[in-house]
Amino acid sequence: MENFELLAERVGQGIIKLNPFVEDLVEKYGVEKDGIKVLVMGGIRAGGAGCACPANALLRGLLRHLVLEAGETVIVDLEAGVEHLGRATAQGVDALLVVVDPDCRSISAAEHMEKLARQIGIPRILIVGNKIEEDEREFAQRLPRGLPLLGLLPFSLAVAEAGRKGRPVPQVPETEKLWRRLEELLGEKQAL
């Protein structure tokens, strides 16, 4: 998204192409490890950097191609916030995972995200509780009705310290359980 020459070539300047050519982007810019291709899309890096419309048009086109046309399994780590839902960048995905901290603002934001996700046709919204110090039942009761809880990541001093020091986050055993549960749920595409 920070490759302005690519954006100008594929999306244009002034008048924006809403269906840019994207079929070669993963091969051209992706990195492969263990059969998994990773593509870092970038984001807004500076105040006053201008409109994000061209970058969002390219991202939406790429995701639409990968998910709807190529039938690929895609995991997208979106920046926190609702912009990707408001711009329908995430449209066409099978599920949206919303990471929710145990505070009222985060829970309220999750409820708002669920509403926006439903409006753009995302069929399944799942909650992952983050930094949780209570049991699953207690946390689930504080979520708005209709927001299913995939699982919890407990509060961890080691993870907090790694974040403060800018170090890699240590492996948390609960993440494996969450991945297995997610695989189970998304493997049931007919249930979506």
Average pLDDT, the chain: 82
Rounded mean pLDDT of 140-144?
88
Confidence band (pLDDT; 50, 70, 90) for 105? very high
Confidence band (pLDDT; 50, 70, 90) for 31? confident
pTM above 0.85, yes or no: no
Nearest alpha-carbon partner for 114 in 80, 146, 151, 149: 146
Residue 182 is which amino acid? L
Domain boundaries, the chain: 1-43+50-74, 92-192
Considering Cα of 77, then 182, then 82, then 117, what sign does the dihedral take?
Answer: positive
Residue 156 is which amino acid? S
Q: Looking at residue 167, what is its pLDDT?
A: 94
Nearest alpha-carbon partner for 29 in 41, 19, 15, 20: 41
Share of the chain above pLDDT 70, in %: 90
Paired tokens of 7: 């954006």
- Say if residue 24's pLDDT is above 80: yes
- Say if residue 192's pLDDT is above 60: no
- 14 vs 97, residue with greater confidence: 97
CATH topology of domain 92-192: Rossmann fold (3.40.50)
- Cα–Cα distance between 99 and 188 in angstroms, integer? 22
Backbone phi and psi for residue 114, each to the nearest 5 degrees, phi listed first: -60, -45
Confidence band (pLDDT; 50, 70, 90) for 92? confident
**Residues 145 and 113: beta-carbon distance below 8 Å:** no
